[in-house]
């Protein structure tokens, strides 16, 4: 859309009737998605509906939009693809057919709008990085092992042992090929779930069964 007009690629403006149908289609889509998000009981209200969000949206578009506006089917198909692409981008999904409605309906979007930082995200990180000790961040390093549930004996600033506590050891290879091992109270892992599924030998001991099941979902 440009200056309030819907435009076809390499063509002129979309006729007003089709433009109205487009606006209505996007409105229906927004209302539909809005009724699902944050509504964990939504999927229990559905009968004879697809179990995944991709098939569900396709079914809803067909019955509520495509069948009611057959004259603009080609244009509406393009609008449908735009909406699906937006859902994939918003929720980081490559394939919406792999996302169950039960999971999608549990998502609670945060208030506010999406923002673009003119100077880049570094303007967020730089103040945070100044609060960290020097060389606290290890770049070009590959974590090889996370040993959790270990009993650690902290050493205070005077060199004396303190009461044992539970913590973790992380073994990694730095950018020079050297093997390093550090200890910490906790480890936060933010790698994509798809990668985590492939790292079966990362944790020692193996994670509890409930966490393994959550990773496999």
Which pLDDT score, from 0 to 100, does residue 4 have? 45
Which pLDDT score, from 0 to 100, does residue 140 have? 92
Per-residue pLDDT of 196-208, as tens digits, reads 888 878 999 988 8
How far is it, in rounded angstroms, from Cα 166 to Cα 15? 68
Kind and range of the H or E element at 113?
A: none
Average pLDDT, the chain: 77
Per-residue pLDDT of 150-186, as tens digits, reads 776 665 556 566 677 778 889 999 999 999 988 888 8
| Nearest one of 153, 147, 197, 189 to 168, comparing CA atoms | 147
Above 70 in pLDDT, residue 45?
Answer: no
Is the model more confident about 212 or about 172?
172
Which pLDDT score, from 0 to 100, does residue 177 have? 93
Which pLDDT score, from 0 to 100, does residue 146 have? 93
For the entire predicted model, the pTM comes to 0.45
């Amino acid at each position: 859309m440009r200056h309030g007009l819907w435009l076809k690629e390499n063509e002129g403006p979309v006729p007003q009737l089709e433009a109205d149908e487009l606006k209505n289609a996007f409105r229906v889509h927004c209302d539909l998605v809005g009724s699902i998000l944050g509504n964990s009981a939504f999927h229990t209200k559905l009968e004879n509906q697809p179990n995944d969000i991709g098939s569900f949206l396709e079914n809803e578009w067909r019955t509520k939009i495509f069948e009611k506006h057959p004259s603009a089917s080609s244009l509406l198909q393009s609008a449908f693809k735009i909406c699906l692409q937006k859902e994939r981008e918003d929720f980081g999904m490559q394939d919406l057919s792999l996302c169950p409605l039960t999971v999608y309906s549990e998502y609670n979007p945060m208030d506010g709008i999406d923002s673009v930082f003119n100077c880049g995200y570094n303007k967020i990180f730089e103040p945070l990085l100044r609060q960290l000790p020097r060389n606290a961040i290890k770049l070009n390093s590959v974590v090889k092992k996370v040993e959790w549930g270990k009993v650690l004996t902290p050493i205070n600033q005077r060199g004396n042992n303190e009461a044992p506590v539970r913590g973790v050891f992380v073994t990694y290879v730095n950018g020079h090929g050297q093997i390093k091992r550090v200890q910490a109270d906790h480890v936060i892992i933010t790698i994509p779930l798809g990668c985590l599924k492939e790292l079966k030998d990362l944790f020692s001991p193996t994670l509890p069964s409930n966490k393994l099941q959550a990773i496999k979902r």
